[in-house]
Amino acid sequence: MSRRGKCWDNAPQESFFGHLIDEVDYQSSKSLRELKDKINHYMFTITTIDINGI
């Protein structure tokens, strides 16, 4: 817990990982490399959409 006057809001991280779990089919991954590739693809997709506003 943060000290008074030093609020650390972790809502953006919780939101990101919540959506990550919903969007990425992590249980079908057969290896750690495959899982990393799926996560990297998801991260690239959301950052591209956010930057370009698609």
Count of domains in the chain? 1
Task: Classify residue 33: in a domain, yes or no.
Answer: yes
Task: Say whether pLDDT at 22 is over 80.
Answer: yes
pTM for the structure as a whole:
0.64
Task: Classify residue 46: in a domain, yes or no.
Answer: yes
Task: Classify residue 8: in a domain, yes or no.
Answer: no
Task: Say whether pLDDT at 5 is over 80.
Answer: no
Task: Classify residue 7: in a domain, yes or no.
Answer: no
Q: Which residues form the domain of 35?
A: 25-54
Task: Classify residue 9: in a domain, yes or no.
Answer: no
Task: Classify residue 48: in a domain, yes or no.
Answer: yes
For the chain, give the longest Cα–Cα distance: 45
Q: How far apart are CA 7 and CA 37, in angstroms?
A: 34
Q: Dump pLDDT digits (tens) for 28-42.
A: 999 999 999 999 999
Task: Classify residue 13: in a domain, yes or no.
Answer: no
Residues in the chain: 54
Half-sphere exposure in the Cβ direction for 3 (13 Å, CA): 0
Q: What is the pLDDT of residue 38?
A: 94
Q: Are 43 and 19 in contact (CB under 8 A)?
A: no
Task: Classify residue 47: in a domain, yes or no.
Answer: yes
Residues 6 or more apart in contact with residue 29 via CB below 8 angstroms: 35, 38
Residue-averaged pLDDT of the chain: 81
